[in-house]
Amino acid sequence: MLKINTGSAVPVYEQLKRQIRLGIVSGEYPEGHRMPSIRQLAAQLTINPNTIAKVYRQLETDGFLNSRSGSGFFVKLEKEHLSKTRKVLLSEIADEFISSAVQLGFTPEELIKTLSIKLERNPKNDKTK
């Protein structure tokens, strides 16, 4: 379910684009999945329909969606594109992490140390399973 974080200074256009991209890469929206119509999503989120249209068109240009005239936007998946995008997303997450930590005055060593401790403790990361 797509949501807008109203407290965020990140523009809704950007928020939506990122969420849909994440949904596609994570498999939440599988190949051929029909995206909600512009009208439906705009009404649900009280967002200008033009903004939704802009997001869909951008995702189409970026190779995540296909538009079929009259019937809407559908998820498009290409393996190579997908793996490349996963790397881009990881890099973006890392950038965000680094910039907030730097803002708080932590050193690179402290970041690496915290990250490795967290990874060790994260049950999802247990390779023995």
Name the site residues for another protein (rule: CB under 8 A): 4, 6-9, 11-12, 38-39, 42-51
Radius of gyration of the chain (CA): 18
In whole angstroms, how far apart are CA 17 and each of 20, 112, 121?
5, 30, 32
Choice between 7 and 105, CB closer to another protein: 7
Q: Between 24 and 41, whose beta carbon lies closer to another protein?
A: 41
Q: What is the distance between the alpha carbons of residues 30 and 23, in angstroms, rounded to a whole number?
A: 9
The distance of closest approach from Cβ of residue 33 to another protein in the complex, given in angstroms and rounded to an integer, is 21
Smallest gap from residue 57 Cβ to another protein (A): 15
Alpha-carbon distance 93 to 60, whole Å? Answer: 23
Which two tokens mark 109? 């060593």
- CB 34 to another protein: min, Å: 17
In the bound state with another protein, the residue whose beta carbon lies nearer, of 37 and 77, is 37
